[in-house]
Structure 1
């Protein structure tokens, strides 16, 4: 009996080996490709995107996600609208602007990250500019795709600034703080956290050397950066969108619980970054840009419809947009994980 079994095993061995080789040659389960463009160069506050990639959260949802650096919070919107990318991370207000003008092309927000307005005009602490009205007759600079610059017409209208009396100067992003410190511009457009850390890199103390005129302190309680997808991708691959949002939400919770792990993922992409600076930048973003009181009620990732409706009205009126998009045109909450699965706070437990 034993010899018969051995003989059978020897005869089957080549067939088993061939079958194993054939199985190994089969392609892996198809993964849906998603190209994501970020708001800016790789940095600490993008940690969740990289962690979701490194921990296989995207792959577990059947997604093959590639992540590219961006050129400004407003610049990612047209790139997704043009079809160059399927997904992006950028300014909700620039998205509202495009949705008003070209509704068929505008992307759709699916996960709100920056729920507290970070937009500001930054001046030196010794500047005579102390109120928004003081900006008249001055030169304010910023990168062309900066979110605060794009929103300045709306801010000017709300704060009763004569925008025609303000000179706007554009420069490369890496020159903004240098030009401000040297007095080549009177003020700079930017995000509070971004400018603060750029200033620190120049040896300045933002708390002592700079003054921030925040849009949110003057009636502009706007949302800022959201994750969004192209309208066609949302319609054609809703399961992929839901999977992406689920994976991202997992990574956001991981980073809140363990910021060091998030910074590990960032440093893998840009080893020359200063780790402690990027960690501080991440923690400042969690505290300053993602901590609106509403998340205790609706959870991170979602929006308050009435607040967003008001924000749409502000942006549409101030920029004289052809129409006011509906809330559902610019944000689709269908893909959000259940409320209990999303963070109620961005402070580590």
Structure 2
């Protein structure tokens, strides 16, 4: 009799992904009844306090977390395994992480976390260059240097992207930088020919460089991957599922409000960052949220599609082929059905 994994693999090979219709509903005009008392939680963004990551700040400023009875502290996260390490060390309750990184790090972390929500229905990873720099298609990257965040999914998945794009990844030099705020300036100064970033970061890149960005989206070839996942420690999901559900729902209310009301979202981001001694360009933030709108759904994760994501990652050897990772190990589907 075929195993559950074999059934899912077969379905993943033939099924058309159904529209996501459950969990983390889009924000409506009314807010939930406010609760008395607030559960204190800490949330790490995927990648610093860039405009694309500040939908959590919108949820905070619009009162969605407050209405859910949550006292949320938002901190700037780092790519790759860094956020997971912080969470496992007990310094964060929820973190954002790219889908590819969530799959890659699940087994090495000892299966210490569960995914509870997908912020975007499609990976936003890309290589971005500048108009006039000689990069208009993947083959143009051969012999050139691109920069990525240290341990970022753009670096991890580049060999798979290159193989599907029919270029030799070994002939593209990748330099990793610890300070991801330097990626845009490096590109603007022509120190590199491309950077690993999100395809909705074009307003930020154009603002820094003064030139039109050229985007090579990973999704052209890596079609199955989700974008950002929200993960939480397995112990928290088991011990206090109500807090986990409330957080996921309130965060997705913030995401939905942000992409539907990008100008107000930008103002909320600026107000949030003022409390942290910094600021954001309102036009850049507004454009970024508007660009993200087509990729935002309800937040639910489909089991068959997650099997496709895992299978895709296994073709890259990360996690190791034959690891046996299944969607229900990584994702808490029971929790998602009620958030």
Q: TM-score if structure 2 supplies the norm length?
A: 0.77
Output one character per residue of 1:92-134: Cα deviation in whole Å (capped at 9) or x when no partner: 11010111333432x2211111212211122333344444344
Counterpart mapping for 1:186-205 below 5 A: 186-194=193-201, 196-205=202-211
State whether structure 2 residue 329 is matched by structure 1 residue 329.
yes
Could you say which residue in structure 1 is the equivalent of 2:156? 150
Instruction: State whether residues 262 and 287 of structure 2, in contact with CA within 8 Å, keep that contact through their aligned partners in structure 1.
Output: no
State whether structure 2 residue 258 is matched by structure 1 residue 246.
no
Point out the structure with max Rg over C-alpha.
Answer: 1
Find 1:32's aligned residue among 25, 39, 43.
39
Counterpart mapping for 1:109-258 below 5 A: 109-171=115-177, 172-194=179-201, 196-206=202-212, 210-258=213-261
Q: Decide whether aligned partners of structure 1 residues 185 and 52 sit closer, same or farther in structure 2, where only a CA change above 3 A counts.
A: closer
Output one character per residue of 1:159-200: Cα deviation in whole Å (capped at 9) or x when no partner: 343333222112332332333343322322111222x12322
Displacement of 1:229 after TM fit?
0.9
Q: Decide whether aligned partners of structure 1 residues 51 and 218 sit closer, same or farther in structure 2, where only a CA change above 3 A counts.
A: closer
Displacement of 1:335 after TM fit?
3.1
State whether structure 2 residue 101 is matched by structure 1 residue 94.
yes
Local SS of the residue matching 1:42: coil
Distance 1:274 1:327 in 2: 39
Counterpart mapping for 1:290-309 below 5 A: 290=296, 295=297, 300-309=298-307
Local SS of the residue matching 2:107: helix
Could you say which residue in structure 2 is the equivalent of 1:10? none
Instruction: State whether residues 142 and 169 of structure 1, in contact with CA within 8 Å, keep that contact through their aligned partners in structure 2.
Output: yes
State whether structure 2 residue 75 is matched by structure 1 residue 75.
no
**5+ unaligned residues in a row in structure 1: which ranges?**
1-27, 342-349
Q: Decide whether aligned partners of structure 1 residues 131 and 261 sit closer, same or farther in structure 2, where only a CA change above 3 A counts.
A: closer
Displacement of 1:47 after TM fit?
4.8
Instruction: State whether residues 187 and 209 of structure 2, in contact with CA within 8 Å, keep that contact through their aligned partners in structure 1.
Output: no
Number of matched residues? Answer: 298
Q: Decide whether aligned partners of structure 1 residues 181 and 245 sit closer, same or farther in structure 2, where only a CA change above 3 A counts.
A: closer
Q: Decide whether aligned partners of structure 1 residues 52 and 127 sit closer, same or farther in structure 2, where only a CA change above 3 A counts.
A: closer
Q: Decide whether aligned partners of structure 1 residues 178 and 44 sit closer, same or farther in structure 2, where only a CA change above 3 A counts.
A: closer
**5+ unaligned residues in a row in structure 2: which ranges?**
1-34
Instruction: State whether residues 112 and 303 of structure 1, in contact with CA within 8 Å, keep that contact through their aligned partners in structure 2.
Output: yes
Could you say which residue in structure 2 is the equivalent of 1:20? none
Instruction: State whether residues 97 and 316 of structure 1, in contact with CA within 8 Å, keep that contact through their aligned partners in structure 2.
Output: no
Counterpart mapping for 1:310-325 below 5 A: 310-322=308-320, 323-325=323-325
Q: Decide whether aligned partners of structure 1 residues 182 and 205 sit closer, same or farther in structure 2, where only a CA change above 3 A counts.
A: closer
Instruction: State whether residues 123 and 225 of structure 2, in contact with CA within 8 Å, keep that contact through their aligned partners in structure 1.
Output: yes
Q: Decide whether aligned partners of structure 1 residues 250 and 170 sit closer, same or farther in structure 2, where only a CA change above 3 A counts.
A: closer
Distance 1:276 1:335 in 2: 37
Displacement of 1:225 after TM fit?
0.6
The structure with more helix, counted as a fraction of residues: 1
Instruction: State whether residues 47 and 78 of structure 2, in contact with CA within 8 Å, keep that contact through their aligned partners in structure 1.
Output: yes
Q: TM-score if structure 1 supplies the norm length?
A: 0.75
